[in-house]
Amino acid sequence: MVNQDAYRRELSYLTQYAEDDWLGFSVISGSVGGLLGRGASFQEQLTLLLRIVGDLYDAGARAGDLTESTAEPFLPWPLEKTEALTRIASQVEQNSRLPDSGDICWFTVP
């Protein structure tokens, strides 16, 4: 069970991060570990990871890819929240571990 006050603080931090910079999965995965503590199952970790990503979407952040372009360095995925969560879940499950920065996508508030 995740402490809701701790979750809100962590989500606030991650939302601010996404507003200021590119937010990678290592930061989100670290938040998952900190909130759940040791001994959490992979399924518990994935569930919390997806909850965080969903809440980031609700706060205006979007998943996407970094590009080589200086004019458009971030290319948001043309997906709705549910589609993005499905895509992320599928890729995380394929790897059987929480992602690191550079894996799957990045997040930012466009």
- What is the per-residue pLDDT across 79-90, written as a single tens digit (0 to 9) for each? 999 999 999 999
- CA dist., res. 24 & res. 68, Å (int): 17
pLDDT digits (tens, 9 = 90+) for 14-72: 999 999 999 999 999 999 999 999 999 999 999 999 999 999 999 999 999 999 999 99
The DSSP bridge partners found for residue 65 are: 75
This prediction has a pTM of 0.94
Handedness of CA 25, 48, 2, 62 (dihedral sign): positive
d(CA 50, CA 99) in angstroms, rounded, equals 12
